[in-house]
Structure 1
Amino acid sequence: MVKHTERPAFPEAASVPVRRRGRPPNPGRREDTRALLIRCGTELCTERGFQITGIDEVLKRAGVPKGSFYHFFRSKHEFGEAVIENYRQYYEKRLDRFLKDTSMPPLERLDAFINEAQLRFALSNFRRGCLVGNLGQELGGMNDNFRAQLAAVLNDWEVRVAACLQEAIERGDLPASHDAAMLASLFWNGWQGAVWRAKLEQSAAPIRSFGAFFFRSIGRKEMPAEYAEQPAT
Structure 2
Amino acid sequence: MARQSLRENLLQAGFQTIWNSGYSAAGVRDIVAAAGARPGSFTNHFASKEDFAGEVLERYFAYVSGLVENALARDGTPPLGRLRRYLDVITSKLEAHEWARGCMIGNLSLETAVHSEPLRLRLVDIFERWRRPFAACIAEGQTAGEITKAFDAEDLADFLLSSWQGAMLRMKVERSPEPLERFKKIIFSTVFGKETA
Common fold by TM > 0.5: yes
The residue type equivalent to 1:168 in the other structure is G
Decide whether the 8 Å contact of 1:38 with 1:83 is kept in 2: yes
Unaligned runs of 5+ in 2: none
Task: Report the Cα offset of residue 219 of structure 1.
Answer: 4.2
Q: What is the alpha-carbon distance in structure 1 between the residues aligned to residue 87 and residue 192 of structure 2?
A: 17
State whether structure 2 residue 100 is matched by structure 1 residue 131: no
Quote the residue 2:3 is aligned against.
29
Task: Report the Cα offset of residue 124 of structure 1.
Answer: 1.9
Task: Report the Cα offset of residue 36 of structure 1.
Answer: 3.4
Task: Report the Cα offset of residue 67 of structure 1.
Answer: 4.5
1:138-190 CA-partner distances (Å, limit 9, x unpaired): 11111211111001111111111111111011111123334211111111111
Q: Name which of 156, 180, 187 aligns with 1:183.
A: 156
Q: Name which of 82, 87, 90 aligns with 1:114.
A: 87
User: Is the alpha carbon distance of 1:144 and 1:111 closer, same or farther for their aligned partners in structure 2, counting shifts above 3 Å?
Assistant: same
The residue type equivalent to 1:151 in the other structure is V
Decide whether the 8 Å contact of 2:95 with 2:177 is kept in 1: yes
The residue type equivalent to 1:29 in the other structure is R
RMSD: 2.1
Decide whether the 8 Å contact of 2:142 with 2:148 is kept in 1: yes
User: Is the alpha carbon distance of 1:64 and 1:205 closer, same or farther for their aligned partners in structure 2, counting shifts above 3 Å?
Assistant: farther
User: Is the alpha carbon distance of 1:169 and 1:47 closer, same or farther for their aligned partners in structure 2, counting shifts above 3 Å?
Assistant: same
Q: Identity of paired residues, percent?
A: 29
Q: Name which of 43, 54, 61 aligns with 1:81.
A: 54
Q: TM-score normalized by structure 2?
A: 0.89
Q: What is the alpha-carbon distance in structure 1 between the residues aligned to residue 31 and residue 86 of structure 2?
A: 30
Aligned length: 195
Q: What is the alpha-carbon distance in structure 1 between the residues aligned to residue 92 and residue 116 of structure 2?
A: 33
Secondary structure in 2 matching 1:66: coil
1:79-119 CA-partner distances (Å, limit 9, x unpaired): 11111111121111111111123331111111111111111
